[in-house]
Amino acid sequence: MDLSGVTFCDSGDLNALLAAHRIAASNGTALALACVPPVLRRVLEMTGVDQLPAVHDTVAEAVAVLEGGLHRDRNATA
């Protein structure tokens, strides 16, 4: 999920991300977050939400990891 355009995130939005993660997991797939703005990344880290869906610096990196092309720490930054 490309979050580059996100400028605001409240508790409802965090719950939506968690719900999307749960739905993806229940369907045997994964949700990855990409291009997370620094302020939002901090909110995700403070709330622990960054530990559930994988957080990647770019969409290309997220796709590569999901396709098995890269083996990086799920919350690593470049």
pLDDT tens-digit map of 11-69 = 999 999 999 999 999 998 889 999 999 989 999 899 888 778 789 999 999 999 988 85
Query: In terms of pTM, does the model score above 0.85?
Result: no
pLDDT at residue 72 greater than cutoff 90 = no
What is the full DSSP assignment across 3-23? -TT-----HHHHHHHHHHHHH
Q: What is the DSSP letter of 52?
A: S
**Token pair for residue 23?**
């739905």
